[in-house]
Amino acid sequence: MKYFSDKEQGMPPRTLTEINVAIWNGIVLIINEFIANASLAASFPERCDDSGEICGCDEAALSDGIKSIIPNLGMGLNRLTEPIVSPFDNDIEAQDINTYAVLDLVEYIHHNIKDVRQIGNFHTYFKHYHYCIDDRGANRKAFQEKINELFERNGLNYTLTDAGRIERIVPLPLNLIIHRVVQTKDLTLNGLVSDATGKMLLPKLEDRKLALEKLWDAFERSKTFFLEDGKVDKRKSVDRVLDKLSGNDTNFRQLLNDECLALTKIGNEYQIRHFEKDKIAIENSDEIDYLFYRMFSYMNLFSECIE
């Protein structure tokens, strides 16, 4: 739903990467809604003492499931109190929130939600309804929409996909190219690029660093595309690649040659493929996005022109 301020001022930028107390409390509120409507009863059934039919969600079983699958969450499905600022300017901090564990929780809940249907009449003695499982995906979709609205309105840099996977929202220019498929006759090269693009969408910074490594590995392999049984050395293979990519346009070939040299230098000097102490560390998402975009642009051209 779009509110008045959204129309007048637009939505907040999706730059927040850490889940704060307000977002956590919103997630708890949404999960409790789907506990109450028995959407989690299929995976964690509470059964009627009279008939044995499902009558709701067993919250103790749900809690045990969460603790066993996401042990680093470190807290139950309870709202937290906002940090209090003391008169001496020292914040009394709320319980630490593990952002990645919370995102795991969202995926876990989505996976276990099913549609249910009331059967029979209201059980007047135990004061509950009975349910049967009639899963058509409607409740998972509703959960996804509520979670994504919460993330969007708070500027959180993640989204819950139709498949129930948390993905990072990449900058628009990168998003325009990252879903393109690099398809060549070299299946290993294709696989490296595919692994790289998949990891770029993951929330953890370490996964996105690994995405850079995979993409640079693909780049180095592309240099040997015409290397067959030792008949052509690597330098000659690179020359043939550049001829193909440039369409024998001398000026563009020089530009591509310079770009390949620059990308090779980046791969050697930064902690992408080499991690010696004298290599330059990559510290944040902006640096990763820039380097990935730059390299993927080359690999996309390679894919389109090489065959």
Instruction: Name residue 54's beta-bridge partners.
Output: 47, 131
Say yes or no to pLDDT of 252 above 80.
Answer: yes
Helix (H) or strand (E) holding 57: strand 54-57
Tell me the pLDDT band of 144, cut-offs 50, 70 and 90: very high
Count other C-beta atoms under 10 Å from residue 62's C-beta. Answer: 21
The token pair that represents 150 in the structure block: 């919460």
Amino acid at 150: L
Residue 102 reports pLDDT greater than 50 = yes
Residue type (1 letter), 251: N
- How far is Cα 135 from Cα 116, in angstroms, rounded to an integer? 6
pLDDT (tens digit per residue) in 264-292: 999 999 999 999 999 999 988 899 999 99
* Least-confidence region, from 50-64, 104-118, 230-244: 230-244
Torsion of CA 200, 255, 245, 173, to 10 degrees: 30
DSSP letters along 106-163, please?
A: HHHHHHH---EEEEEEEETTTTEEEEEE---SHHHHHHHHHHHHHHHHTTBSEEE-TT
Torsion of CA 218, 161, 286, 26, to 10 degrees: -150
pLDDT mean over 118-141 = 88
Picking from 223, 206, 224, the residue whose alpha carbon sits closest to that of residue 288 is 206
What is the Cα Rg of the chain in Å? 26
CA distance 132 to 134: 6
Q: Which residues pair with 117 in a beta bridge?
A: 132
- Contact assessment for residue 25 and residue 83, using Cβ atoms and an 8 Å cutoff: no
* Sign of the torsion formed by the C-alpha atoms of 100, 274, 199 and 62: negative
Helices 234-246 & 250-269 angle (0-180, nearest 10): 130
* DSSP for residue 52: -
Quick one: pLDDT at residue 124? Answer: 82
Cα separation, 167 vs 207, in Å, equals 12
Cα(164)–Cα(141) distance, integer angstroms: 9
In percent, the amount of the chain with pLDDT more than 90 equals 68
Q: What is the mean pLDDT of residues 256-266?
A: 97
Could you tell me which residues are beta bridge partners of residue 119?
Answer: 130
In tens, the pLDDT along 157-169 reads 999 999 999 999 9
* Residue count (the chain): 307
The residue-averaged pLDDT of 52-73 equals 93
215 vs 170, higher pLDDT: 215
Residue range 210-232: average pLDDT?
A: 88
Res. 182 pLDDT band, cuts 50 70 90 = confident
Q: What is the pLDDT of residue 95?
A: 62
Per-residue pLDDT at 180 = 83
The yes-or-no verdict on residue 92 having pLDDT over 50 is no
- Provide the pLDDT for residue 61: 96
Average pLDDT in the chain = 89
- Please check the confidence at residue 90 and state whether its pLDDT lies above 70: no
Tokens of 201: 């969408």
